[in-house]
Amino acid sequence: MCAVHESRRKRRLTVAHGRTRPTSRDVAQAAGVSQAAVSLVLGDKWRGRVSETTAERVRQAAQELGYRPNLAARNLRLGHTRTVLLVVPALTTEFFAGVYTGAARVAAESGFGVVLYPSPEGIGPARDPFASAQAALDGVIASSMAADALTPIRGDQLPLVMLDSDPEGSHGAATVNLDIADGIRQATDHLLDLGHHHFLHLAADVPSWTFEIRAQELAAHLADRPGTTVRTARAPLAIDSAVTAAEAALTGPGPRPTAVLCDDDLLAAGTYKAARRLGLRIPDDLSVTGIDDLGLATAIDPELTTVRLDAELFGERGMQALLAVLEGRTPDAGDIPVELVVRGSTAPPPAS
């Protein structure tokens, strides 16, 4: 047995029996090279500086010793952690799980990890989840929140990408948005084409830009439609609250709405319950649309006509934008398209 192999074998046995964590020095001694060479090879910076034979010897020694680099120390030296914080208002729907899945997939391809943080304060201000987020993170992605709500987390240091947020109120942060205004137009046009004129907008009672845009677009889209009426009821994003709000709105004075546009599929599910309490059939007496296309949309009967938002693509685009910012590039522009999925909850209004 050659001297190098014998040295490597002895070092491996020493580490194993001593139950110590192998170091780069151990790898260097086992491979018969300098620690600098180990650093170059394991950091994948060896080409043109050490031979292929030496690089292979180092890799084999590291594998046999069970060596793992100290990532925390390396990141501290380099000044980054390759960790991103994804801040969401809550985890009450599967939508934000999809956003996380998409962001984490893109992050992993670039060697980043994503930590999901549901802000206890909802849309903000958000508390710093770490002793100092600025020291523990490379960047922040925040969904459906105002940029100034994130000051306790990022200060003025961490790169920030805002999802589903006002581009004009982002304080210079990059923004990635769904084309939610077009989703409202698609749903409204669908109901108009069916012959509806009297609408109820069951709006999310959440002070957020994305919900403000939905209300503004609906009002603007119906403003030049003679003979149409819109009444608005607001409810928190919870089925029980939606039942109460929808029932009150559907029994209020004036022409009863024949179509309900809901800001969210949860609000649509509450509208279903309110309709049953009032003896109204969906879609014969009342058409209902939602937004999101959650699993709930096909679990209720009839299945819900809703605007599909691709949550995973949303997360992917958010992470891609943050990577661009970190690399000094300009993120891709343009809103993410959305799609109206027509199912059994919409039909022409009753003949009367």
- How many percent of the chain have pLDDT more than 90? 48
User: Could you tell me whether strands 339-341 and 305-308 are parallel, antiparallel, or unpaired per DSSP bridges?
Assistant: antiparallel
Q: In this structure, what token pair is assigned to residue 229?
A: 């009426």
pLDDT digits (tens, 9 = 90+) for 61-107: 888 887 766 544 444 444 457 888 898 877 667 899 999 999 999 99
* Residue 165: per-residue pLDDT: 86
Buried-state track 315-349, b at ≥16 Cβ within 10 A, e below 16: bbbbbbbbbbbbeeeebeeeebebebbebebbbeb
Of residues 49 and 14, the one with the higher pLDDT is: 49
Backbone angles phi, psi at 162, to 5 degrees: -100, 130
The single residue listed with the structure tokens 């398209």 is 337
Contact between 83 and 136 under an 8 Å Cβ cutoff? The reply is yes
Sheet containing 229-235: which strands, arranged edge to edge?
Answer: 229-235, 198-204, 259-262, 287-292, 305-308, 339-341
Alpha carbons 92 and 220: distance in angstroms, whole number: 30
Domains of the chain: 3-69 (1.10.260), 78-177+312-326 (3.40.50.2300), 180-310 (3.40.50.2300)
Phi, psi dihedrals of residue 139, rounded to the nearest 5°: -175, 170
Question: Which phi-psi region, left, alpha or beta, contains residue 303 (left: φ > 0; alpha: ψ -120 to 50)?
Answer: beta
Residue 176's nearest CA partner among 313, 341, 294 is 313
Amino acid 75: pLDDT: 45
Q: Does the pLDDT at position 349 exceed 90?
A: yes
Strands (E), 196-318: 198-204, 229-235, 259-262, 287-292, 305-308
For 203, counting Cβ atoms within 10 Å of its Cβ (0-12 exposed, 13-18 middle, 19+ buried), the class is buried
pLDDT band at 341 (very low <50, low <70, confident <90, very high): very high
**Mean per-residue pLDDT over the chain, rounded:** 84
Residues 148, 145: Cα–Cα separation, whole Å: 9
pLDDT for the residue 42: 77
Alpha-carbon gap, residue 123 to 149, rounded angstroms: 7
Instruction: Single out the residue of 216, 211, 142, 180 nearest to residue 308, CA to CA.
Output: 180
State the Cα–Cα distance between residues 247 and 307, nearest whole angstrom. 23
What are the two backbone dihedrals, phi and then psi, of residue 254, each rounded to the nearest 5 degrees?
A: 90, 180
pLDDT at position 203 is: 97
For residues 123 and 88, give the distance between their C-alpha atoms in angstroms, rounded to a whole number.
Answer: 8
Distance CA 262, CA 202 (A): 5
Query: For residue 85, what is the enclosing H or E element?
Result: strand 83-88
For the segment 180-195, the average pLDDT, to the nearest whole number, is 97
Task: Answer whether 58's CB lies under 8 Å from 42's CB.
Answer: yes
Higher pLDDT residue, 71 or 30?
Answer: 30
Is residue 193 within 8 A of residue 167, CB to CB? The reply is no
Instruction: Give residue 325's identity as a one-letter amino acid code.
Output: V
pLDDT at 231: 95
339: helix, coil or strand?
Answer: strand
- Per-residue pLDDT tens digits for 225-283: 999 999 999 999 899 999 999 999 999 898 999 999 999 999 999 999 999 999 999 99
